[in-house]
């Protein structure tokens, strides 16, 4: 076999040449740079060199960061945010033909031969705040901050199965393998944090999270933009500690040598995944210090812990809400909290109380805490699930509600949002949207808009076509904006 020019060059390299070109003698300098407060990358480096370098938005943003509280399982609007006295009055009666004529229910009826009965709200509602927003009794703490949020009653979606519906909310598609919203935001804006990832995922709740890591995947974007999941354990970020007997100086020298090799490789091949590898090594090195500091809540006052309902050392949704605030204080761009337990096909009355108790106080505390610290004005907080629930009863071991895609609630708080309003109207039985229908792509377009991004211009060419988060749809929800 004929030797290539590159192979001949390698044969000419001696061990001394190798070490000279790797700059091992500069390892301490590189280590000093990594441990200093300076930037990991020199000023003027392009995205190819530092995938998470800051980039200019399309226009002046209203917010700098996002905290998305995703209620996995499909919260029932009838026990949370949608007051429907007519549904209560007709409780137990057969659902009207206007509902049953839909293709899905006509299909179900052919097999069950039983027309479903209407199920009235299982919890009481009352008006709260100066806005007079209707809030269920399961959210007593959110009722106290309802004037700080804008409620959208009329969100609709495309798929009534959990995994694809979750994917649609998080990636803009019901198919696996597309970039998540946090990944698109990182690709478009970069990250302000030197010591933590730009996109972090926190999970809570006992139930499985259908869709899993695909919901924070970077898809076909470079893997530098994927979400980093912090684990629900005493060691939320695994493999950060140095091996026994390895000093930080020795580790830094090893890292500097590896990074020099990576940069040589990057210059030769121009593969963006090599830039991702370089950034990942350096981020991991910094997180050996920043990670434990982030998770250590000893600096928080007892009043703050009590506000959220946090027990230090105990993983929970409350702890995750507090950590989300600490993350954005440290420059994390996009924090996604997933809390499972909202899938109530049966035992609705008991389970709605359990999951609401887990989430009500911390969600309200997050808004209150951000507002007190002056962070709410440039942070966007979002609450919502993948779809809603039917006004008809579903009988399994006990009564519950089935999946419903024709309306479900979401609320928004923070910069650029006009608070204290309710957007959208739904019919008396809570089945169809009658005014101001909001598509999931509209929600995504609005989130990007508030970050200063035109959703139609944030694109990535893959397999011969330009992709975007909102596919070929999406309109900014103008009524939501201040």
Rounded CA separation 429/434 (Å)? 11
Indicate whether 416 pLDDT > 80.
yes
Contact 63, 480 (CB under 8 A): no
- Asked whether residue 194 is assigned to any structural domain, the reply reads yes
Please report the pLDDT score of residue 37 as a whole number. 38
Identify the bridge partners of residue 410 per DSSP, sorted by sequence position: 152, 384
* pLDDT, mean of residues 81-103: 87
Q: Considering the domain boundaries, does residue 345 fall inside one?
A: yes
Q: What CATH number corresponds to the domain at position 95?
A: 3.40.720.10
- Give me the half-sphere count of Cα atoms (radius 13 Å) on the Cβ side of residue 269: 11
Higher pLDDT, 114 or 26: 114
Binned at pLDDT 50, 70 and 90, residue 49 comes out as: low
| Residues in CB range of 43: below 8 A, 6 or more apart | none
Residue holding tokens 């035109």? 454
CA 132 to chain centre: 29
Query: How much of the chain, in percent, has pLDDT values that exceed 70?
Result: 76
**Residues written for the chain:** 482
The pLDDT value recorded for residue 246 is: 66
Average pLDDT, the chain: 85
Confidence grade of residue 435 (pLDDT, cut at 50, 70, 90):
very high
pLDDT of residue 264: 73
Beta strand residue intervals within 104-211, DSSP E: 125-128, 133-136, 150-156, 199-204
Q: Which backbone phi and psi does 477 adopt, to 5 degrees?
A: -80, 90
Residue 444 has pLDDT above 90, yes or no: yes
- Supply the pLDDT for residue 398: 87
Does 288 reside within a domain? no
Q: Does any domain span residue 243?
A: no
User: Is 39 contained in some domain?
Assistant: no
Average pLDDT over residues 9-22: 44
Residue 98: CB atoms within 10 Å: 11
| pLDDT tier, 259 (very low <50, low <70, confident <90, very high otherwise) | low
Taking only the tens place, the pLDDT of each residue in 333-344 is 999 999 999 999
Q: What is the mean pLDDT of residues 230-251?
A: 68
Q: What is the pLDDT at residue 288?
A: 66
pLDDT value at 200 more than 90:
yes
Range of the domain at 194: 53-238+300-480
State the total domains in the chain. Answer: 1
Across 61-70, 95-104, 139-148, least confident range: 95-104
Q: How confident is the model at residue 242 (pLDDT cuts 50, 70, 90)?
A: low
Any domain includes 278: no
pLDDT of residue 292: 75
Range scoring the smallest mean pLDDT among 54-63, 89-98, 166-175, 400-409: 89-98
The average pLDDT across 280-299 equals 73
pLDDT at 195 over 70: yes
Residue 31 reports pLDDT greater than 50: no
Q: What is the largest CA-CA distance in the chain?
A: 88
pLDDT of 120 > 90? The answer is yes
Write the DSSP assignment of 381-445 as a string of letters.
EEEE-S-EEEEEEEESSSEEEEEE-S-EEEEEEETTB--SEEE-EE-TTS-SEEE--EEHHHHHH
pLDDT band at 332 (very low <50, low <70, confident <90, very high): very high
- pLDDT in the model for residue 99: 78
What pLDDT shows up at residue 295?
83
- Write down the pTM of the prediction: 0.84
What SS3 class is residue 341?
coil
pLDDT at 289: 67
pLDDT in tens, 211-233: 999 999 999 999 889 999 987 76
Q: Is the pLDDT of residue 98 over 50?
A: yes
In this prediction, residue 2 carries a pLDDT of 40
Domain assignment of residue 417, yes or no: yes
Q: Is residue 255 part of a domain?
A: no
pLDDT at site 52: 84
Average pLDDT over residues 328-333: 96
């Amino acid at each position: 076999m004929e030797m290539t020019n590159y192979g001949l060059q390698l044969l000419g390299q001696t061990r001394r040449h190798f070490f000279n070109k790797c700059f091992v003698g500069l390892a301490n300098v590189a280590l000093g740079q990594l441990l200093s407060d300076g930037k990991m990358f020199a000023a003027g480096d392009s995205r190819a060199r530092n995938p998470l370098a800051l980039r200019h938005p399309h226009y002046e943003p209203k917010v700098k960061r996002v905290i998305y509280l995703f209620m996995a399982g499909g919260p029932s609007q009838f026990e949370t945010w949608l007051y429907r006295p007519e549904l209560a009055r007709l409780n137990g009666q057969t659902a009207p033909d206007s509902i049953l004529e839909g293709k899905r229910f006509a299909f179900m009826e052919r097999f069950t031969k039983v027309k479903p009965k209407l199920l009235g709200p299982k919890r009481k509602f009352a008006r709260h705040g100066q806005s007079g927003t209707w809030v269920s009794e399961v959210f007593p703490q959110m009722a106290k901050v309802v004037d700080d949020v804008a409620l959208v009653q009329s969100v609709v979606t495309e798929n009534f199965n959990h995994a694809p519906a979750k994917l649609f909310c998080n990636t803009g598609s019901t198919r696996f393998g597309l970039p998540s919203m946090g990944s698109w935001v990182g690709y478009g804006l970069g990250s302000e944090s030197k010591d933590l990832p730009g996109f972090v995922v926190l999970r809570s709740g006992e139930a499985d999270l259908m869709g899993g890591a695909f919901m924070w995947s970077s898809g076909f974007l470079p893997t530098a933009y994927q979400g980093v999941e912090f684990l629900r354990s005493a060691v939320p970020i695994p493999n950060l500690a140095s091996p026994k007997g390895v000093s930080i100086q020795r580790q830094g020298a090893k890292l500097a040598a590896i990074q020099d090799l990576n940069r040589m490789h990057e210059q030769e091949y121009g593969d963006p995944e090599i830039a991702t590898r370089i950034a990942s090594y350096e981020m991991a090195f910094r997180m050996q210090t920043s990670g434990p500091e982030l998770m250590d809540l000893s600096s928080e006052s007892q009043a703050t812990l009590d506000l959220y309902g946090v027990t230090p050392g105990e993983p929970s949704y409350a702890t995750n809400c507090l950590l989300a605030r600490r993350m954005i204080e440290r420059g994390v761009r996009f924090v996604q909290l997933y809390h499972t337990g909202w899938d109530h096909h049966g035992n609705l009355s008991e389970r709605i109380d359990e999951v609401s108790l887990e989430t009500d106080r911390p969600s309200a505390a997050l808004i209150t805490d951000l507002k007190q610290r002056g962070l709410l004005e440039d942070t966007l907080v979002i609450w919502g699930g993948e779809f809603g629930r039917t006004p008809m009863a579903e009988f399994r071991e006990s009564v519950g509600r089935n999946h419903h895609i024709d309306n479900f609630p979401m609320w928004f708080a923070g910069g650029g949002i006009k608070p204290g309003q309710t957007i959208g109207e739904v019919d008396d039985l809570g089945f169809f949207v009658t005014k101001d229908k909001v598509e999931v792509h509209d929600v995504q377009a609005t989130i990007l808009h508030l970050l200063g991004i035109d959703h139609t211009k944030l694109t990535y060419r893959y397999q011969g076509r330009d992709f975007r988060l909102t596919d070929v749809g999406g309109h900014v929800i103008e009524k939501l904006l201040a």
